[in-house]
Structure 1
Amino acid sequence: MTSSRWVFKQLYDKGLVYRGVKVMPFSTACNTPLSNFESHQNYKDVQDPSIIVNFPLLEDENVCLIAWTTTPWTLPSNLALCVNPELIYVKVKGYIRLPFSGADLTAAALCLFLQDDYRVCMEYDIIQRDSPPICPVDSSGCFTSEVTHFAGQYVKDADKNIIKWLKENGRLVSAGSFKHSYPFCWRSDTPLIYKAVPSWFVRVEHMVKKLLDNNAKCYWVPEFVREKRFGNWLRDARDWAISRNRYWGTPIPLWVSDDFEEVVCVGSMAELEELTGSKVTDLHRESIDQLTILSRCGKGKLKRVSEVFDCWFESGSMPYAQVHYPFENRRDFEDTFPADFIAEGIDQTRGWFYTLLVLSTALFGKPPFKNVIVNGLVLASDGQKMSKRKKNYPDPSLIVQNYGADALRLYLINSPVVRAENLRFKEEGVRDVLKDVFLPWYNAYRFLVQNVQRLHKEENIQFLYNESTAKLSGNIMDKWIQSFTQSLIQFFKVEMAAYRLYTVVPKLVKFVDMLTNWYVRTNRRRLKGESGMEDCVWALETLFSVLFSMCRLMAPFTPFITEMMYQNLRHLIDPASVEEKDPGSIHYLMLPQVREALIDSRIESAVSRMQSVIELGRVIRDRKTLPVKYPLREVVVIHQDSEALQDIQSLQKYIVEELNVRQLTLSTEKDKYGIRLRAEPDHVILGRRLKGAFKAVTASIKELRSEQLETFQRTGSIMVDGHELHEEDLRLMYTFDQTSGMGTQYEAHSDAQVLVLLDITPDQSMVDEGVAREVINRIQKLRKKGHLVPSDEIAVYYSSEPAGDYLDKVIQAHTDFILATTKAPLKPYPVPKNASIIVQERTQLKGSDLDLTIVRGVEICTAPLTGPVCAYVNLKVNLSNKHGKTLLVNSGASPTEMNAPDALMCPYINLQLINASPAECHSGGMGTLLLANPVGQNGLHYPGLLTETAKMFGLRGRRLKVYMDEDFTEGMSDLKLIPPQLGGTECWKCTFHVVPSSASMVPL
Structure 2
Amino acid sequence: LKKCFDKGWVYKGRDVMPWCARCGTGISQHEIVTEGYQEVTHESVFVRFPLVGRDNEALLVWTTTPWTLSSNVAAAVGPELTYVKVQHEDGWTYYLAEEAAKQSLIGKWEVVDKMPGEALVGWEYVGPYDELPAVQKAFAEAGYTHRVIPWKEVGADEGTGIVHIAPGCGAEDFELSKENDLPVVAPLDENGIYIDGFEWLVGRSAHDVAHDVFEDLNKKGFYYRKQRYAHRYPHCWRCGNELVYRLVDEWFINMGELYDKPREEVTPEEKARSFRYQIMDAVDQANWYPSFGYDREMDWLRNMHDWMISKKRYYGLALPIYECRECGHFHVVGSRDELKERAVEGWEEFDGHTPHRPYVDAVKIACPNCGKPVERIKDVGNPWLDAGIVGISTMHYSTEPEYWRKWYPADWVSESFPGQFRNWFYSLLAQSTLMADGVGPFKNLFGYSTLYAEDGREMHKSWGNMIEFNEAAEIMGADTMRWLYASCKPEQNLRFGYHVGDETRRRFIIPLWNVYAFFVNYAQLDGWLPNGETAVSDNPAHAQLDKWIVERLNETTLAVREALNVFDSERATQHLEAFLDDLSNWYVRRSRRRFWKSEADADKAAAYATLYHVLVEFIKLLAPFIPFITEEMYQNLVRSVDENAPTSVHHHLYPQADPDALDRRLLDKMRLAITTASLGRAARSSADIKLRQPLAKARVNVGSQQEQDDLLELADVLTEEINVKEIEVVSEVGELVNYKLLPNNRVLGPKFGKLFPQVRKALMALDAAEAARKLQAGESLTLTVGDETVSLSGDDVLVQTESLGGTAVASDKGVTVAVDIELTPELIQEGYARDVVRMVNNLRKEAGLE
Q: TM-score scaled by structure 1?
A: 0.68
Change (3 A) 1:365 1:306: same
| Residue 342 (structure 1) aligned to one of 397, 410, 413 | 413
State the Cα distance separating 1:410 from its structure 2 match.
1.5
- Partner secondary structure for residue 115 of structure 2: strand
**Correspondence 1:26 to 2:86:** no
**Correspondence 1:232 to 2:299:** yes
State the Cα distance separating 1:542 from its structure 2 match.
1.9
Partner of 1:409: 482
Change (3 A) 1:147 1:772: farther
Distance in 1, matches of 2:309 and 2:586, equals 60
Partner of 2:428: 356
Partner of 1:668: 731
State the Cα distance separating 1:355 from its structure 2 match.
0.5
**Percent of pairs identical after alignment?**
27
2:738 maps to a residue whose letter is: R
Partner of 1:120: 176
Summarize deviations over 1:51-76 as a string: whole Å, max 9, x none: 43332234546442333332222222
The answer to whether the 8 Å contact 1:50/1:176 transfers is yes
Between 1:177-186 and 1:331-340, the stretch displaced more is 177-186
Change (3 A) 1:622 1:163: farther
The answer to whether the 8 Å contact 2:18/2:27 transfers is yes
Distance in 2, matches of 1:194 and 1:726, equals 51
Distance in 2, matches of 1:705 and 1:126, equals 68
| Residue 716 (structure 2) aligned to one of 653, 665, 673 | 653
Change (3 A) 1:16 1:677: closer
Partner of 1:1001: none
The answer to whether the 8 Å contact 1:552/1:589 transfers is yes
Partner of 2:821: 760
Change (3 A) 1:267 1:176: same
Summarize deviations over 1:485-525 as a string: whole Å, max 9, x none: 21222223333333333432221222222222222122222
Partner of 1:55: 49
**Correspondence 1:602 to 2:675:** no
The answer to whether the 8 Å contact 1:712/1:718 transfers is no
State the Cα distance separating 1:632 from its structure 2 match.
3.3
Change (3 A) 1:178 1:773: farther
State the Cα distance separating 1:471 from its structure 2 match.
5.0
The answer to whether the 8 Å contact 1:53/1:67 transfers is yes
Partner of 1:429: 500
Change (3 A) 1:99 1:509: same
- Partner secondary structure for residue 603 of structure 2: helix
Partner of 1:99: 115
- Partner secondary structure for residue 349 of structure 1: coil
Superposed, 1:788-803 pairs within 5 Å as 796=844
Distance in 1, matches of 2:181 and 2:754, equals 59
Partner of 2:471: 398
The answer to whether the 8 Å contact 1:470/1:541 transfers is yes
1:568 maps to a residue whose letter is: N
Partner of 2:839: 775
Distance in 2, matches of 1:583 and 1:731, equals 55
The answer to whether the 8 Å contact 1:480/1:607 transfers is yes
Change (3 A) 1:59 1:717: farther
Partner of 1:590: 653
Change (3 A) 1:583 1:92: same
State the Cα distance separating 1:630 from its structure 2 match.
3.6
Partner of 1:202: 253
Superposed, 1:698-737 pairs within 5 Å as 708=768, 710-712=770-772, 714=774, 732-736=799-803
Superposed, 1:308-319 pairs within 5 Å as 308-319=380-391
- Partner secondary structure for residue 499 of structure 2: helix
Distance in 2, matches of 1:694 and 1:435, equals 46
- Partner secondary structure for residue 176 of structure 1: strand
Structure showing greater Rg: 1
**Correspondence 1:612 to 2:675:** yes
Distance in 1, matches of 2:327 and 2:497, equals 55
State the Cα distance separating 1:617 from its structure 2 match.
2.0
Distance in 2, matches of 1:724 and 1:340, equals 40
Q: TM-score scaled by structure 2?
A: 0.79
1:97 maps to a residue whose letter is: D
Change (3 A) 1:756 1:498: same
2:832 maps to a residue whose letter is: D
The answer to whether the 8 Å contact 2:315/2:357 transfers is no
Distance in 2, matches of 1:688 and 1:340, equals 44
State the Cα distance separating 1:36 from its structure 2 match.
0.7
Structure 1 unaligned regions, length at least 5: 1-7, 128-132, 576-580, 738-742, 780-795, 797-821, 823-851, 859-1004
The answer to whether the 8 Å contact 2:347/2:362 transfers is no
The answer to whether the 8 Å contact 2:339/2:365 transfers is no
1:69 maps to a residue whose letter is: T
- Partner secondary structure for residue 492 of structure 2: coil
Between 1:100-109 and 1:37-46, the stretch displaced more is 100-109
2:441 maps to a residue whose letter is: P
The answer to whether the 8 Å contact 1:293/1:301 transfers is yes
State the Cα distance separating 1:196 from its structure 2 match.
1.8
- Partner secondary structure for residue 610 of structure 1: helix
Change (3 A) 1:498 1:91: same
| Residue 291 (structure 1) aligned to one of 359, 362, 384 | 362
- Partner secondary structure for residue 699 of structure 2: strand
The answer to whether the 8 Å contact 1:31/1:140 transfers is yes
Summarize deviations over 1:99-129 as a string: whole Å, max 9, x none: 25345544253212222211221333324xx
Taking only aligned residues, the RMSD between alpha carbons, in angstroms, comes to 3.8
Count of residue pairs brought into register by the alignment = 750
**Which stretches of structure 1, 4 residues or more, deviate above 6 A after TM superposition?**
297-300, 572-575, 679-695, 703-706, 716-726
Summarize deviations over 1:617-655 as a string: whole Å, max 9, x none: 222333233332343343232335332222122223332
Summarize deviations over 1:271-309 as a string: whole Å, max 9, x none: 545512414222364541651426557786533322222
2:847 maps to a residue whose letter is: T
State the Cα distance separating 1:590 from its structure 2 match.
0.7
The answer to whether the 8 Å contact 1:143/1:150 transfers is yes
Q: Which has the higher contact order (CA 8 A, sep 6+)?
A: 2
- Partner secondary structure for residue 237 of structure 2: coil
Change (3 A) 1:377 1:728: same
Partner of 1:110: 165
The answer to whether the 8 Å contact 1:340/1:369 transfers is yes
Distance in 2, matches of 1:150 and 1:647, equals 88
Change (3 A) 1:636 1:305: same
Partner of 2:31: 38
Summarize deviations over 1:472-495 as a string: whole Å, max 9, x none: 985222222222221222223333
Partner of 1:902: none
State the Cα distance separating 1:452 from its structure 2 match.
2.0
The answer to whether the 8 Å contact 1:630/1:773 transfers is no
Partner of 2:76: 82
Partner of 1:848: none
2:571 maps to a residue whose letter is: T
Distance in 2, matches of 1:260 and 1:345, equals 46
- Partner secondary structure for residue 182 of structure 2: coil
Structure 2 unaligned regions, length at least 5: 88-109, 124-146, 150-163, 257-273
Higher helix proportion: 2
Superposed, 1:354-503 pairs within 5 Å as 354-366=426-438, 367-381=440-454, 383-387=456-460, 392-417=465-490, 420-456=491-527, 461-466=528-533, 469=534, 471=536, 475-503=543-571
1:396 maps to a residue whose letter is: F
- Partner secondary structure for residue 15 of structure 1: coil
The answer to whether the 8 Å contact 1:455/1:462 transfers is no
The answer to whether the 8 Å contact 2:701/2:815 transfers is yes
Change (3 A) 1:620 1:98: closer
Partner of 2:230: 179
- Partner secondary structure for residue 532 of structure 2: coil
Distance in 1, matches of 2:280 and 2:52, equals 49
